């Protein structure tokens, strides 16, 4: 806040970036399911934050404020986008492989299958699953990111995991 008051917004952003970059990106990605679009939204979010910093009055916490901007920007981007991309798109698979550069062929097949299963989950369950595993399995963080009660997060997570387990079991039987 001191930096903002002193018109040193660039420094303020440089401090906020390491703390919130990944979370904002994850949130955008959970909405958009497209790495490039999520990065664009993340950039837009930080530019919006940079512009709006002088007006931040501290009534809400900084993280709540940032996540609200991120959610709104992601929803706008989602609405503006015509075709719905999928987590199992080739570019998403490339991104997955980029996370773990040398997985075995079996692992790639398994992960691709899991990714497709996640893709088939209802939107809220999919978001909760993605953010839960992105945020070191913290219910509180997911609840803050999505502005949901922790109980709702736990319920959605439980349902998503049950669906995934069931679907994975079915796939195992047919394989």
Partner 1 sequence: MNTPDSELDKHLQALFGGLDTSADFEARLMARLRAESQTDAAARATRVRQERARYRRAVSELQGWRRSMLRLLTLDTLGIALLLAVAVVTARPHFSWNVTDIWRQYGLYIAGLLSILIGAVPLLGMWAEQARRPMRLL
- Binding residues for partner 1, per CB under 8 A? 10, 13-14, 17, 21-22, 25-26, 29, 39, 42-43, 46-47, 50-51, 96, 99-100, 103, 107, 109-111, 113-115, 118, 129-131, 133-134, 136-137, 161, 164-165, 168-169, 171-172, 175
4 or 164, CB closer to partner 1? 164
CB atoms within 10 A of CB 8: 14
> Shortest gap between Cβ of 141 and partner 1 (angstroms)?
13
Smallest distance from partner 1 to CB 86, Å: 14
Nearer to partner 1, 64 or 165 (CB): 165
Could you tell me if 49 and 158 are in contact, meaning their C-beta atoms sit under 8 angstroms apart?
no
Residue 100 near residue 72, CB atoms below 8 Å: no
> Cβ closer to partner 1: 66 or 118?
118
Show the tokens assigned to 112: 């691709």
Does residue 23 contact residue 67 with C-beta atoms inside 8 Å? yes
Q: How far is the CB of 68 from partner 1 (least distance, A)?
A: 20
Q: Which helix (H) or strand (E) holds 88?
A: none
Nearest CB to partner 1, comparing residues 82 and 105: 105
| Closer to partner 1 by Cβ: residue 26 or 77 | 26
Nearest distance from residue 100's CB to partner 1, in Å?
Answer: 6
For 64-69, the CB contacts below 8 A with 24+ separation are: 64/144, 64/147, 66/16, 66/20, 66/24, 67/23, 67/24, 67/27, 67/144, 67/145, 67/147, 68/147, 69/45
CB of 102 to partner 1, least distance (A): 13
């Amino acid at each position: 806040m001191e930096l903002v008051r002193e018109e040193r917004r660039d420094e303020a952003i440089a401090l906020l970036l390491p703390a919130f970059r990944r979370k904002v990106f994850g949130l955008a990605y959970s909405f958009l399911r497209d790495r490039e679009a999520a990065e664009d939204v993340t950039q837009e979010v930080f530019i919006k934050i940079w512009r709006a910093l002088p007006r931040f009055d501290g009534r809400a916490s900084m993280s709540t404020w940032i996540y609200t901007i991120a959610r709104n920007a992601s929803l706008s981007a989602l609405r503006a986008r015509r075709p719905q991309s999928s987590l199992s798109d080739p570019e998403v698979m490339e991104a997955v492989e980029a996370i773990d550069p040398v997985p075995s062929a079996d692992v790639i097949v398994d992960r691709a299958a899991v990714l497709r299963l996640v893709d088939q989950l209802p939107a809220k369950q999919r978001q909760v699953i993605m953010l839960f595993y992105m945020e070191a399995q913290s219910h509180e963080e997911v609840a803050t990111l999505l502005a949901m009660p922790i109980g709702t997060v736990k319920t959605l997570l439980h349902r998503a995991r049950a669906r995934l387990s069931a679907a994975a079991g079915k796939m195992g039987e047919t394989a």
